[in-house]
Structure 1
Amino acid sequence: MTHASTIPAPSVRGTDNRDRVRPAERRQRRVPASALTALGLFVAARLCGGLVLVVVARAAGKRPLLLFGRSWDSVWYLHIATHGYGLTQHTRHGIHSDLAFFPLYPALIRALTTLGPLDRITAGLLVSWTAAAVAAYGIHQLGLRLYGPAVAIVLVALWGLLPHSVVLSMAYTEPLLTAFAAWSLYSALTGRWIWAGTLAALAGLSRPNGFAVAAAVLAAAAQEVWLRRGRGVSHRLWMGAALAPLGWAGYVLWVGHRRHDLFGGYFTVQRLWGSRFDFGQGSLRFAEHMMLHGSRVLFPMALAIAAVSAVLFALLLADRAPLPLVVYSGVLLVVALGGSGFFECKPRFLLPAFPLLIVVARALVRTARARPWHATVVASALAGLSFIYGAYVVVLARSPL
């Protein structure tokens, strides 16, 4: 197995000669057997999780399709897909504008409903499920390149068994962001800079924290320039770096223009939703309140996931993972933990941070080789937690997912 520290830094060497593909590179373009295994496990995990949710929903007298396709933020995305932007709701919690939701996901739903006979919910689920599969394949390819097939398979399986992985089966934007992120990071690590920048721009149009992908691409490009001392750097690198932040910055500026406050309009919209970056003060106050006064199971779980994520990031640093993966995960972690409001949603915000699972995946592979039954017990426990907790947060919990 290849250790992360032995992986060379991303390089553009040879990327200007992509038309001359070697036979070995042609063979590598075929879908590896480990990818089929990883995708099979991922699909099986999500199907089992979906089945448990359906059973719980039926028992609670609720309609599973509506839970998958019209829960919380999904309602906003479906409205934007049908009517465009312009909806504002005044509630006791604040003034909520649909401008807080980024445009790519509803645009894809609108395109599908316009081109075919699909309704909005079916189109939204089709986009999410397809994106989740593409993301799983991209995660596998990253894991395969850096650590080998065994770790790649386990990494995908772990991502599909996270406590909040039920979101990957719903009409939400996390699958879309993760798909663009995984392939953008893979492109950066393999020197495909224009692809890296383009996919980073699309990630930036998917979710507010999508700029983490652009930050990772820019960090990878800066590292390459530094290693080359600025000499012999391909023009593709500069183009990719320039493209990376355009999606996120473009939407933020568009909202600012629409709100007559070019640089602050979007952040005003977020503040009215109760979301703002306060360097973690809100998260610390909430954690203190929860420890002193107790709370529902949803909030202790969110706190535990946030704490574990911070530890996993420290382990990722200690493992000397490639710089783009560290920057991407670090930005997602800072945004999730440094922002106030919607504490119960923080595990969902961290769902795209799949590099945090690398250390766990490598440890499980070592355990499986030495003690197969121990690894089986751990995997079964994760699956049980994922399926039961996923059904709980969607069907029974009354807090935003």
Structure 2
Amino acid sequence: MAVMALWAWHIDRSPRALLAGSWDSDWYLRIAAHGYGRVLHWPDGAVQSDMAFFPLYPGLVRAVTAVLPVSGGTAGLLVSWTAAGAAAWGIHLVGERLHGRAVATTLVLLWGLLPHSIVLSMAYTEPLLTAFAAWSLYAVLTRRWLWAGVLAALAGASRPNGVAVAAAVGAAAVYELYRLLRDQRRTDWRIWAAAATAPAGWAGYLLWVGSRTGDLLGGYFAVQAGWTSRFDFGAGTVRFARTVATRPMDLGFTVSLVLTGVGVLLFALLVLDRPPLVVLVYTAVLVVIAVGGSGFFESKPRFLLPAFPLLLPLACALRKARPRAAIVVIAALAGLSFGYGTYLLTLATMAL
């Protein structure tokens, strides 16, 4: 963020305005200030409604402005920065639970140095989703089922891909119930409650949008289609990859394709490590949504920011590597992150 701010001042731009009001941030802050109801009609016939954006983040922004004498942009940054800190803490707990403290620290470091990690400092929802997701996964790993369900519901109210947390908690709950019944042991009502509560945030908002649009089950997906976002089982990703390979494209599009491919490779390595079911399902759903969805390909690396378990194989490898080699890798990743994050906010013309 400091590197970005220095460059922004150099080109006579406001770092705060870039962090608080770029791209989707503007939509969220408008919802926080005025509620839902904004619709844009474009000359090509596209219709973009603000109901594509989930309500928890703008709700928190509005709550902060009601308590503190700050603007919506400042409130958005306060929410995001707080959530990013909570996310780092939760990621560390998950990593420590699975592989020990040293790997956990490396995991947080890698997550904070991802090429798109500038998003974690913006008025965006990825920090909020990651925080709820990490703590929900930790709650499952430590058998705190009620907390897992509630946190999964909050994650589902944060972003569309928050459904990954509900799927992970639900899968873990089903497996735990199966194991108890197989061993002829008494089941715990908290597990049932977690499975029932986990999808409440995501499903509740979809049904609300459906009631507003007159199509209870399909209304939200119709709204997303107006943003060219739909799940096509990867057909759009294949077409985009072909386009990038056959004609010149902006740097951001090429980097997004490379980073998405790296995400798929890291997922394969994670599968080989055989992580707990809740971690595997959560990561798998995020990867499937990112790769299988069409529209705004340049945003796919951002969609994978909450998929922090993808970095577990790399974190384990770095802890086993020689210190000098690990330092070189971390320094190279830091340089890429600082430079590319600055590019995304100050030079790139594509949506983030």
Does the residue aligned with 2:149 lie in a helix, a strand or coil?
helix
**For each residue in 1:186-221, what CA deviation from the matched residue of structure 2 results, as whole angstroms up to 9, or x when unmatched?**
001111111000000000000010000000001111
Mapped pair 1:68 → 2:22: no
Does the residue aligned with 1:384 lie in a helix, a strand or coil?
helix
Match of 1:308 in 2: 262
Mapped pair 1:131 → 2:83: yes
TM-score normalised by length of structure 1:
0.86
Mapped pair 1:325 → 2:276: no
- 1:294 CA drift (Å): 2.5
- 1:228 CA drift (Å): 1.5
TM-score normalised by length of structure 2:
0.98
Correspondence for 1:384 among 314, 335, 351: 335
Q: Which amino acid aligns with 1:79?
A: R
Q: Which amino acid aligns with 2:141?
A: L
Q: Find runs of 4+ consecutive structure 1 residues off by over 6 angstroms.
A: none
Correspondence for 1:153 among 105, 109, 112: 105
Match of 2:144 in 1: 192
Match of 2:5 in 1: 54
Does the residue aligned with 2:181 lie in a helix, a strand or coil?
coil
Match of 2:95 in 1: 143
CA distance in 2, matches of 1:227, 1:235: 15
Correspondence for 2:226 among 272, 283, 296: 272
**For each residue in 1:215-259, what CA deviation from the matched residue of structure 2 results, as whole angstroms up to 9, or x when unmatched?**
000111111112212631110110111000000000000000000
- The count of residues paired between Structure 1 and Structure 2 equals 349
Match of 1:90 in 2: 41
Q: Percent identity?
A: 59
CA distance in 1, matches of 2:262, 2:60: 34
- 1:92 CA drift (Å): 3.8
Match of 1:102 in 2: 54
Match of 2:170 in 1: 218
- 1:360 CA drift (Å): 0.3
CA distance in 2, matches of 1:320, 1:299: 32
CA-atom RMSD, angstroms? 0.8
Does the residue aligned with 2:186 lie in a helix, a strand or coil?
coil
**For each residue in 1:101-124, what CA deviation from the matched residue of structure 2 results, as whole angstroms up to 9, or x when unmatched?**
000000000001011211101100
Structure 1 gap segments, 5+ residues each:
1-49
- 1:59 CA drift (Å): 1.8
CA distance in 2, matches of 1:283, 1:373: 37
CA distance in 2, matches of 1:349, 1:145: 25
Correspondence for 2:123 among 161, 166, 171: 171
Match of 2:295 in 1: 341
**For each residue in 1:339-382, what CA deviation from the matched residue of structure 2 results, as whole angstroms up to 9, or x when unmatched?**
11100000000000000000000000001xxx211111111000
Does the residue aligned with 1:400 lie in a helix, a strand or coil?
coil
- 1:86 CA drift (Å): 0.2
Q: Which amino acid aligns with 1:309?
A: G
CA distance in 2, matches of 1:373, 1:165: 24
Structure 2 counterparts to residues 228-247 of structure 1, below 5 A: 228-229=180-181, 231-247=185-201
CA distance in 2, matches of 1:92, 1:135: 40
- 1:297 CA drift (Å): 1.0
Does the residue aligned with 1:229 lie in a helix, a strand or coil?
helix
Q: Which amino acid aligns with 1:200?
A: A
Q: Which amino acid aligns with 2:14?
A: R
